[in-house]
Amino acid sequence: MSKALRIAALMAFVSTPALAQGTGQPWMDSSKTPEQRAQAAVAAMTLDEKLLMVMGYTDPDQLMKEPDDIVPAAIKADVRANHIAGSAGYIAGIPRLGIPGQWQTDASIGVRVTNMERTALPSSLATAASFDPKITFDGGVMIANEARASGFNTFLAGGGNLAREPRNGRNFEYTGEDPVLTGAMTGGLINGIQSRHMVSTMKHWAVNDQESQRTTVDVTITKAAMRQSDLLAFELIYDTANPGSVMCSYNLVNHDWACENDYLNNQVLKGDWGFKGYVMSDWGAVHSAAKAANNGLDQFTGYPCCGHHGAFFAAKNLKPEIENGNIAISRIDDMAQRILWPLFAKGVVDDPAKVGPIDFTADAAVSQNAAEHSLVLLKNDGNLLPLTGVKSVAIIGGHADKGVMAGGGSSGVTPIGGSAVTGIAPTTWPGPVVFMPSSPLKAMQAALPSAKVAYASGDKIAEAVALAKKSDVAIVFVTQWLGESFDGHLELQGNQDALVAAVAKANPKTIVVVESGGAILMPWLDKVPAVLEAFYPGMRGGEAITNILTGKVNPSGHLPISFPASNAQLAHAEIPGFGKPDGIPVAVTYDEGAAIGYKWYDVKGFKPLFAFGHGLSYTSFAVSDVRPRLDGSSLKVSATVTNTGKRDGATAAQIYIGADATAGWEAPKRLGAFAKVDLKPGESRVVDLAIDPRVLARYDEASDSWVIAPGTYHVMAGEASDNLPVTADITLPGYMWSAVHK
């Protein structure tokens, strides 16, 4: 669709609310509650109009090939006219009622539309490392502004799956291994997006923790373990951000597809949590009509796509189910009401998106700021960093002369200026492999104008070694490309480990910058004095990395995931179906339960390579005086954080709670709360944090309740899960409450 046509289509909706006021369209009255408005609109809709809202489409070219009796010509024409080319999807509006269409775009780091250049944030895993929900909020506002200005009103963002499987190809789209961190960081992103009057999803619901055979894998896990881990992460996102939509995932959970899983959708999400919005399917994740509708799916989205199994929610297929009583008409009304609710509640109807100009310079600054608050200094022996007084720098590998790596799949944004490197396989889905055009080499040359900064690609190790030998310092960039639809390896691929080892041997002042989708192994770690984890650092990653290496910015990121020391530390030696062609039925049993990440390491007594929460600074901090107290029935903890070094800096103060076996927890300690604290040298601040009671409880399946066992709990404070210097005990009374939200 041309830009002009799109503007015209949007203008139709812009003008509707004003026309509707006082003209018998009570749903346009913004003084009514979103529930009242949605109810009134449903009451005015015909069955055909309701059914129009429950089925979403993608790619008009493919749609044209569908038979007309399944997708009528009028729908095809509407999709052809209104779908934004190259975007994720479109759902028709009801113009006669002033109900806008839904224009959907991926995903958590920015607007993803094929051939549409937009600003990319660092990966979600990267910004989780900021331990600062304001960073994800600001990022959410920025990408939502770009989305609105591009004609979208629905964001398929809000990745909330835990990094249960460290090799999961999509871990970079999520916010780490801990439910409390994920609740706050993904919640921050969704809050930012929805503050701009868009609907955001949270996804992929649920326990979609591996990409190998993602459309067929049957996950077995106990309800209690799920509630205390994967579902708790989503519950905390939900509490933080109240997303308008939830995207159900491809996999099966306890033998039922997620998109027709009564337990997940009806009992937990809509029942216990009181979710008022709609469950939309992942693209191609629907397997039935009546079962899916009755078990909680409200909108079948992204048809035809991704090896779909049938147009189950097309009117042609739903109507007979309604007529024969398999789907009650009240359920159809409920589906429509749920889809409408966030359009009113989040401001989509009252403040429609408008195609318009975008301030890419300001948006790039938001992305750079996010990266600068997120990159994690893992190691800095002898204070090699920040670089001072260097006359020559060797930049080696990772295409660092051109740009910084990004992840693959549906979250991949085409950056302004296009990918800095092309032609790396795979060049088609889930590729292409994109490098953001933000060259660390050029940024370093600009930052150190009087130094000689030279580049070697690393393809020929001897050349890199020669350059490293004649330079004051060597900076080796290593990359791990991950993406949707496949899982990766912890081992760096190609010659990268050998390259680092050889360069480190040639120059003892070797720094490694890691651009990765998740954790990697570092067989060379003992040989290098400094390591910076940059994840996928976004549109201005080269500048952010350089500012940290040169000390213009003091690093303050902390790891949102543990880095295993070896494959032997993983909970699952093999990922079922790994590396096999898609579509093979496989099963996985998560018998580690809720013991994910650092919890697993604690249970097993393993020492990771780098612990969850770890992150260094160019200054130093002390955490002291930890004081737990009961405030009514809730646990509050205060602690003092002091900058004991010589420059301004920030740390992530972390409070963990420990319990003994009688508490029934999956592991000896859990992250209770955290706060990012920015301090001047010598400055102290008292942080006072509330501990969510669910962090203190176990989930009791028999009574569907949370239960806090009476007894002594250990409150620990510090700057990483393995660096908790201060502790204090508190005795808590027993407490039990229903899983149902009030």
Nearer to ligand BGC (CB atom), residue 112 or residue 399? 112
Nearer to ligand BGC (CB atom), residue 60 or residue 302? 302
- Is residue 487 a contact residue for ligand BGC (CB under 6 A)? no
CA torsion angle for 256, 257, 261, 265 (degrees, to 10)?
Answer: 150
- Reading the block at residue 143, the tokens are 């990408």
Nearer to ligand BGC (CB atom), residue 306 or residue 728? 306
- In the list 106, 138, 146, 592, the residue contacting ligand BGC (rule: CB under 6 A) is 106
Contacts of 210 by beta carbon, 8 Å cutoff, 6+ apart = 165, 167, 168, 217, 487, 575, 576, 588
Nearer to ligand BGC (CB atom), residue 284 or residue 437? 284
Query: 419-448 mask for ligand BGC (x: CB under 6 A)?
Result: ------------------------------
Q: What is the CA radius of gyration of the chain?
A: 26
- Is residue 515 a contact residue for ligand BGC (CB under 6 A)? no
Nearer to ligand BGC (CB atom), residue 311 or residue 549? 311
CA distance 664 to 232: 16
- Is residue 283 a contact residue for ligand BGC (CB under 6 A)? yes
The least distance separating ligand BGC from the CB of residue 269, rounded to whole angstroms, comes to 18
- Is residue 471 a contact residue for ligand BGC (CB under 6 A)? no
The least distance separating ligand BGC from the CB of residue 582, rounded to whole angstroms, comes to 12
Geometric angle at alpha carbon 144, from 111 and 78, rounded to 5°:
65
The least distance separating ligand BGC from the CB of residue 302, rounded to whole angstroms, comes to 6
How many other C-beta atoms can be found within 10 angstroms of the C-beta atom of residue 693? 15
Nearer to ligand BGC (CB atom), residue 283 or residue 455? 283
Helices (H), 218-314: 223-228, 230-241, 262, 290-294
Nearer to ligand BGC (CB atom), residue 116 or residue 306? 306
- Is residue 569 a contact residue for ligand BGC (CB under 6 A)? no
Q: Scanning the structure block, which residue is given the tokens 């994690």?
A: 376
Query: 356-395 mask for ligand BGC (x: CB under 6 A)?
Result: ----------------------------------------
The least distance separating ligand BGC from the CB of residue 165, rounded to whole angstroms, comes to 16
Strands 510-516 and 404-405: unpaired
- Is residue 209 a contact residue for ligand BGC (CB under 6 A)? no
The least distance separating ligand BGC from the CB of residue 3, rounded to whole angstroms, comes to 22
Q: Do 439 and 513 meet the contact criterion of CB atoms below 8 Å apart?
A: no
- In the list 28, 38, 41, 88, the residue contacting ligand BGC (rule: CB under 6 A) is 88
Nearer to ligand BGC (CB atom), residue 258 or residue 708? 258
Task: State the burial class of residue 450 (Cβ atoms within 10 Å of its Cβ: 0-12, 13-18, 19+).
Answer: exposed
Q: How many residues belong to the site for ligand BGC (CB under 6 A)? A: 11
H/E element holding 500?
A: helix 496-506
Give the CA count within 13 Å in the CB-facing half-sphere of 614. 18
Nearer to ligand BGC (CB atom), residue 322 or residue 575? 575
**Sign of the alpha-carbon torsion through 538, 543, 547, 549:** positive
Strands 435-436 and 300-303: unpaired
The least distance separating ligand BGC from the CB of residue 57, rounded to whole angstroms, comes to 12
- Is residue 154 a contact residue for ligand BGC (CB under 6 A)? no
Which SS3 state, helix, strand or coil, does residue 53 take? helix
Q: Identify the CA nearest to 49 among candidates 6, 107, 116, 101.
A: 101
- In the list 107, 111, 478, 506, the residue contacting ligand BGC (rule: CB under 6 A) is 107
| Reduced 3-state DSSP string for 646-710 | CCCEEEEEEEEEECCHHHCCCCCEEEEEEEEEEECCCCEEEEEEEECHHHHCEEECCCCEEEECC
- Reading the block at residue 508, the tokens are 């003892």
H/E element holding 56?
A: strand 55-57
- Is residue 413 a contact residue for ligand BGC (CB under 6 A)? no
541 alpha-carbon distance from chain centroid: 18
- Is residue 259 a contact residue for ligand BGC (CB under 6 A)? no
The least distance separating ligand BGC from the CB of residue 122, rounded to whole angstroms, comes to 18
- Is residue 168 a contact residue for ligand BGC (CB under 6 A)? no
The least distance separating ligand BGC from the CB of residue 203, rounded to whole angstroms, comes to 6
The least distance separating ligand BGC from the CB of residue 276, rounded to whole angstroms, comes to 21
Q: Do 222 and 701 meet the contact criterion of CB atoms below 8 Å apart?
A: yes
Amino acid at 513: V
The least distance separating ligand BGC from the CB of residue 159, rounded to whole angstroms, comes to 8
Contacts of 31 by beta carbon, 8 Å cutoff, 6+ apart = none
The least distance separating ligand BGC from the CB of residue 273, rounded to whole angstroms, comes to 21
- Is residue 314 a contact residue for ligand BGC (CB under 6 A)? no
Nearer to ligand BGC (CB atom), residue 88 or residue 189? 88
CA distance 453 to 391: 8
- Is residue 302 a contact residue for ligand BGC (CB under 6 A)? yes
Nearer to ligand BGC (CB atom), residue 82 or residue 410? 410
Nearer to ligand BGC (CB atom), residue 251 or residue 380? 251
Nearer to ligand BGC (CB atom), residue 426 or residue 508? 426
- In the list 71, 125, 156, 420, the residue contacting ligand BGC (rule: CB under 6 A) is 156
Integer CA distances (angstroms), 520 to 33, 378, 433, 480, 529, in order: 49, 12, 19, 8, 17
Nearer to ligand BGC (CB atom), residue 154 or residue 242? 154
Q: Do 675 and 652 meet the contact criterion of CB atoms below 8 Å apart?
A: yes
H/E element holding 180?
A: helix 179-195
CA distance 641 to 653: 7
- Is residue 410 a contact residue for ligand BGC (CB under 6 A)? yes
- In the list 20, 70, 224, 306, the residue contacting ligand BGC (rule: CB under 6 A) is 306
- Is residue 85 a contact residue for ligand BGC (CB under 6 A)? no
Geometric angle at alpha carbon 194, from 39 and 332, rounded to 5°:
30
- Reading the block at residue 261, the tokens are 């899983």
Which SS3 state, helix, strand or coil, does residue 284 take? coil
Geometric angle at alpha carbon 57, from 577 and 82, rounded to 5°:
145
H/E element holding 148?
A: helix 133-149
- Is residue 17 a contact residue for ligand BGC (CB under 6 A)? no
Nearer to ligand BGC (CB atom), residue 160 or residue 542? 160
- In the list 282, 363, 401, 592, the residue contacting ligand BGC (rule: CB under 6 A) is 282
Nearer to ligand BGC (CB atom), residue 284 or residue 555? 284
The least distance separating ligand BGC from the CB of residue 286, rounded to whole angstroms, comes to 13
Q: Do 595 and 601 meet the contact criterion of CB atoms below 8 Å apart?
A: no
Q: Scanning the structure block, which residue is given the tokens 């030998």?
A: 469
The least distance separating ligand BGC from the CB of residue 426, rounded to whole angstroms, comes to 15
Nearer to ligand BGC (CB atom), residue 146 or residue 282? 282
By the criterion CB under 6 A, which residues form the site for ligand BGC?
A: 88, 106-107, 156, 203, 282-283, 302, 306, 410, 484
